[in-house]
Copies of this chain bind each other. A is one copy, B any other.
Amino acid sequence: MMPSQVLIKEVGPRDGLQNESQTVPMEVKLKLIEMLEASGLSYIEATSFVHPKWIPQLSDADELLKHLPGKARYSALVPNLKGIERVEKTSLQEIAVFISASEVHNKKNLNKSVQEAMADIEQVINKSNGHYQVRAYISMVFGSPFGDIVSIDHVKQLMTALFALGVYEISLGDTTGMANPAQVDAVLSDLLKHFDKDKLAMHFHDTNGLALSNIYVSLQHGISVFDTSVGGLGGCPYAEGASGNVATEDVVYMMEQLNITTGIHMERLLATSDFISNELNFNRLSHQLRKYRGGQ
């Protein structure tokens, strides 16, 4: 049974911009977030408190959060204790933590084993001391581009551990767009025997053009929270030039066609996509932005 409404969590300002090679000035980010809120996006992952050395594109996280308009619920990625110390100086009410289901990816991305990454998450959650709602990402749920096997049992163990630590929702990530709809069907059939569908979100990348198919199958399993990125911002670090996160406007279009409520105003969202795609001189345009520009 498909849901009658979904919550779209906008991750463009974080997951999108961190994967674009250009660094966007803070005033452009603020304008982007303001336009997203005016489009009806009620949840925005605004930035990341990762060390600026690793992601210089988001090094203005502390300053940015001081200037947010405040209409949406905001989140920020917090990788470690240093991050939570920075969060404490902001008015954030929600944070996101991150782990990869792929041992190799964890090593490459965080320079930690999966076990060490989980220990860091525990530290962050303990230190946050109940002050923040915590959302968790598990990336590479549908496979790893490094060739290591990601088993569904391993994913289940991570999920159980994360829920035990108190995260309210887990976003299952297909970080490199490897998932296909038959696989999503099989994985969700299994996971939903053990976990509540209302505590899961899906985070698909459109590297291979299958994100909407994967979302459609997820809807059929009753999933109602999806991470998307306006304009499809965010590339794939493992395949230069490839598509990144699924574009918010393409997801909203599909939901509208399926008579599923999003609360998002399409024309305003397209103007937002047009704005940021122009700023980035973007050439991987979303399907809806192509139509929008063609009709201008």
Q: Which residues of A contact B (CB under 8 A)?
A: 2, 180-183, 206-210, 212-213, 216-217, 239-243, 250, 253-254, 257-258, 283-284, 286-288, 290-291, 293-295
Q: Closest CB of chain B to A142's CB: distance in Å?
A: 10
Instruction: Report Cα–Cα, A182/B260, bound state, in Å.
Output: 12
Query: By the criterion CB–CB under 8 Å, are B291 and A242 in contact?
Result: yes
Query: By the criterion CB–CB under 8 Å, are A180 and B254 in contact?
Result: yes
Instruction: Report Cα–Cα, A2/B180, bound state, in Å.
Output: 14
Query: By the criterion CB–CB under 8 Å, are B180 and A258 in contact?
Result: yes
Partner of A287, one of B242, B257, B294: B242
Q: Closest CB of chain B to A99's CB: distance in Å?
A: 25
Known: A180-B254, A180-B258, A258-B180. A208 touches B287 (CB 8 A): yes
Q: Which residues of the partner chain B approach A295 to less than 8 Å between Cβ atoms?
A: 239-240
Instruction: Report Cα–Cα, A240/B239, bound state, in Å.
Output: 29
Which residue in chain B gives the minimum CB-CB distance to A251?
B209
Query: By the criterion CB–CB under 8 Å, are B207 and A210 in contact?
Result: no
Q: Which residues of the partner chain B approach A254 to less than 8 Å between Cβ atoms?
A: 180, 208-210, 213
Instruction: Report Cα–Cα, A127/B254, bound state, in Å.
Output: 44
Q: Which residues of the partner chain B approach A284 to less than 8 Å between Cβ atoms?
A: 290
Query: By the criterion CB–CB under 8 Å, are B294 and A208 in contact?
Result: no
Q: Which residues of the partner chain B approach A286 to less than 8 Å between Cβ atoms?
A: 209
Query: By the criterion CB–CB under 8 Å, are A291 and B207 in contact?
Result: yes
Instruction: Report Cα–Cα, A191/B15, bound state, in Å.
Output: 43
Q: Which residues of the partner chain B approach A216 to less than 8 Å between Cβ atoms?
A: 181, 213, 216-217
Q: Which residues of the partner chain B approach A291 to less than 8 Å between Cβ atoms?
A: 207-208, 239, 241-242
Instruction: Report Cα–Cα, A287/B242, bound state, in Å.
Output: 7
Q: Which residues of the partner chain B approach A287 to less than 8 Å between Cβ atoms?
A: 206-209, 242-243
Q: Can you add 13 more A-B contacts, CB < 8 Å, to A180-B257, A207-B287, A208-B253?
A: A181-B213, A181-B258, A183-B257, A209-B209, A209-B250, A209-B287, A212-B212, A213-B213, A216-B217, A242-B291, A242-B294, A283-B283, A284-B290
Partner of A290, one of B217, B241, B258, B294: B241
Known: A209-B209, A213-B213. A290 touches B242 (CB 8 A): yes
